Structure 1
Amino acid sequence: MKQYSGSFNKRSRLLKHPALNEPSDARLKALDASGLPDHLESVLQVQNDFFPCFDWTFPPPLLSTHAPPASASALFSHPSVEPGRYSLYLHLPFCKTLCSFCYYTVLPGRGIEQSSQYLDYLIREMGLYAPSLQGEWCESIYIGGGTPTYLDEPQLVTLIQAIRDRFHLLEDAEISIEAAPGTLSRTKLETLKQLGVNRLSYGIQTLDEAMLATMNRHYRVADAEHELALALDIIGNVNVDTMYGFEHEPDGALNRTLQRFHALGIPSLSIYSLDTQRIRKGKSLSGPPRDEQYEYKIDAFSRACDQLCTLGYEPVLQNVFVQPGRGSYRHQVRRWDNLPLVSLGISAQGYAPRMPYQNVGALKPYYQLLDEDRLPIATVDPLTPEMELIREVSSCLRFTRLDLGNIQRRYGVDLDYVFGDLIATLQKLGYLQRDGDSLQMTGKAAYYNNIIPMLFAPDAFKQQLLSLPEEYLAEYPVPQVMVQAGSTQSAAINVQLPSTYHPAPG
């Protein structure tokens, strides 16, 4: 038996999780190619929970009863569509304070006192994976949290040296670390540079000190700008996270923040929407509240995108913009190519071929499992080859763009044949635009950009959703639309992975 997350299209608070039981007697609506445009146009008249949702994932999060694999070699037993390559994520949960908007697993304040023990166990976890990855190459590392730069310099040296000792890094590997105001000094930045860190992501959210105070973030903007100037001088490839959609937010606040960061010379900017669903009190157990700023957020995000493009930035993900030649974010872009992601630390979410997984979310079981020389994995969600294919298809469409020719080379599947009627319909409705083999969602699709990629889910998966309770389907827009849309396949999916692969360069 499997159970679905109450939020379905993101890993967040589980408000409700009905079981996905035995196959339902109900059947999906059969595909009617001629009537599909009118049918989808009517089905899509439903509001998402909020906009934009950036931690969207396919397949939708499951609470799975599958037992975690006994070893890393078992976890990585399926062939990869990215042979010889992988990336690393390390979760460091330590922060000075808990931001009001944060939903990640963190240990604020005096939690830093546990950092030395946590690092010891994190290095032990590395040791469980390293033997299975010999001969393969790590192309990117992302050290996130939390605030990893809350650690002191000797700890950062210990951590990154341990990574280098256990994993084979490509010479041009992207090594990113997250930082927050008040945690960077010149000497710490110089240490990170010497350790090979070549990308820094700085979480400041806004330059409005009054709004910062409402987030439980207390620092002077001038001090943060000083740290950014140091980071630009020493690291160079710096990203700044911005956020919008706060209560009583002045109109144009996001645009003024972006303009200021551009003036400071920041080469990469990320835009996030405040998720009031996670912080609003009085949630109903019957489902998440709808976002009252939904229309405003779509408009504000659109204006911000236009502004950044005018300033010479280019989107590498839906919400991440870089100046060509100065900024990068290869780690996240490559994530949607089904590149294996070895994730370490509490609550870390990883991806082995056909095996998404998530680590346990608390220190006690994390330490206990590692003391037993076991992977600290809480859940795994085995995928069929068809579901792995659609994971890449839907994720690329959701976050970047979809290359149909690349999919055919990697999976042996012609999406124009399998989903030809769906693709043509979404183009006719103005939700997809096509340039040769490249498909991308349009601005018109913004209202439904959490849902449209899900329409490419295999019909067999949508059939399973029919066993969910009707009241659940009525509350949550993603499964509701997937079921109501009915069959969207024009032909069967028959994945045929290449029999030979070219080795990764050393």
Structure 2
Amino acid sequence: MNMYQPAPSLLLPFPPVAREPGFGVYVHWPFCAAKCPYCDFNSHVRHEPVDQERYVAAFRRELAVMAARSRGERVTSIFLGGGTPSLMRPETVAAILEAIAANWTVAPDAEITMEANPSSVEAERFRGYRAAGVNRVSLGVQALNDADLKRLGRLHDVAQALEAVELARATFPRLSFDLIYARPGQTVEAWEDELNRAIDLAADHLSLYQLTIEEGTPFFALHKAGKLPVPDGETSAALYEATQALTAARGLPAYEISNHAVPGAESRHNLTYWRYGLYAGVGPGAHGRLQGRTGRHAIATERHPETWLKMVEDWDSGIVADEPLTAVEEADELLLMGLRLAEGIDLKRWRELTGRDIDARSEADLCAHGMVERLGPDRLRATPAGMLVLDAVVADLA
């Protein structure tokens, strides 16, 4: 196990008491104007216009199926992800949100987030999304220098990104944007300068991801051929440490490995995932966790957009996997998701699922090595050092 120890200043603040996870609805719009070379998400480029009316009709049908599987749930968050949801017309977004409201009770204060790319942002379209009900936007900025934006395959430049941020702040109550760090050749000092600039622009939330080289992407082939050098483990750790320290000092501490917010401005939808709540997923390649008669079911839909569309038109949904989870599988998922959070996991929920306690010997060993810590008798979390090797920590505890 990597025994890298972060500076004492990185110790996480004592988190607030965790709220109930809530119930979320995720809608996947799978289309992009171009495929980024680092991206392994279910996104597709189409050179002919997408028939949005046909897709709206399909979303309505699949939403009805998912709602029938989750009767009685109250929607606390909706997330329009992709792909590039900001390629949808405002009337398409409105129709999808109306369909969700027709199938579930939606909380009056529900968080409704839409992802957007700066290259597809227009003032009129943003106003249309806001009128449709979107109250939070997440912008895929990714970098604040033009050379790296070009290398990352982005279609916007820094000037467009800044314009999109300004427009989003003027239109929506809440704003988040993404940046990718640990980019080729990036130093800690350069990243700190860029991150300070981002925090000056940010309203209340930032998602900061280390660049990962995913198999099957163009970046994977370039890296394998030695044409895309990435920071080594020591540099990556230093970049992570700098990220945690700087965001905390500037008032946006990490509440999850890669997500930072002014306290109270955390993404409610993503907290539903990390707190191991229930959620419905609709659209090509969407995933969900819905309650069955004996436990949770892991549900997934067909990834290929046109195949999904035909399946929904023929059979009302594009579901290709509907697997009941055992109590042990649920407990492992709870551990994997919850230890990403600064608030950690509720050990009472773990015991309810498994009928046993976390292995005392494994916990003691991880505590001794500074990888996990107790917050009272019923809450366990990973330390900043543990976050760096979270998969290993989870494997030891599970």
Q: What is the TM-score of this pair, normalised by structure 2?
A: 0.85
The more displaced of 132-141 and 421-430 is 132-141
**Secondary structure of 1:338's match?**
coil
Change (3 A) 1:318 1:129: same
The more displaced of 223-232 and 443-452 is 443-452
Is the counterpart of residue 443 in structure 1 residue 378 in structure 2? no
Q: What displacement does 1:405 show?
A: 5.1
**Secondary structure of 1:276's match?**
coil
Q: What displacement does 1:238 show?
A: 0.6
Aligned residues: 372
The residue identity in structure 1 corresponding to 2:211 is: L
CA distance in 2, matches of 1:283, 1:255: 25
Q: What displacement does 1:158 show?
A: 2.0
RCO greater where, 1 or 2, for CA within 8 Å and sep 6 or more? Answer: 1
The more displaced of 197-206 and 211-220 is 211-220
Percentage identity across aligned positions? 23
Alignment of 1:101-500 (within 5 A): 101-108=38-45, 110=47, 112-278=49-215, 279-281=219-221, 293-325=232-264, 327-353=265-291, 354-404=296-346, 406-407=348-349, 411=353, 413=355, 415=357, 418-437=358-377, 438-457=379-398
Q: What displacement does 1:171 show?
A: 1.4
**Secondary structure of 2:138's match?**
strand
CA distance in 2, matches of 1:290, 1:448: 22
Change (3 A) 1:148 1:431: same
Change (3 A) 1:265 1:371: closer
Q: What displacement does 1:382 show?
A: 2.8
Larger-Rg structure: 1
Partner of 1:57: none
Partner of 2:13: none
CA distance in 2, matches of 1:111, 1:456: 50
Change (3 A) 1:345 1:303: same
CA distance in 2, matches of 1:374, 1:117: 13
Q: What displacement does 1:299 show?
A: 1.2
The answer to whether the 8 A contact 1:398-1:453 is kept is no
Alignment of 1:62-101 (within 5 A): 86-101=23-38
Q: What displacement does 1:128 show?
A: 1.8
CA distance in 2, matches of 1:104, 1:90: 14
Change (3 A) 1:299 1:113: same
The more displaced of 430-439 and 342-351 is 430-439
CA distance in 2, matches of 1:112, 1:213: 25
The answer to whether the 8 A contact 2:334-2:345 is kept is no
**Secondary structure of 1:159's match?**
helix
The answer to whether the 8 A contact 2:206-2:259 is kept is yes
Partner of 1:477: none
The answer to whether the 8 A contact 1:277-1:291 is kept is no
CA distance in 2, matches of 1:209, 1:122: 37
Q: What displacement does 1:292 show?
A: 5.9
Q: What displacement does 1:235 show?
A: 0.8
CA distance in 1, matches of 2:160, 2:192: 21
CA distance in 1, matches of 2:42, 2:346: 37
CA distance in 1, matches of 2:29, 2:306: 15
Q: Deviations 1:453-484 (Å, cap 9, x if unpaired)?
A: 12232xxxxxxxxxxxxxxxxxxxxxxxxxxx
Q: Deviations 1:182-219 (Å, cap 9, x if unpaired)?
A: 22223322222222222111001001101111122132
Write 1 or 2 for the structure with the bigger share of strand. 2
Q: RMSD over aligned Cα, in angstroms?
A: 2.7
Q: What displacement does 1:226 show?
A: 1.6
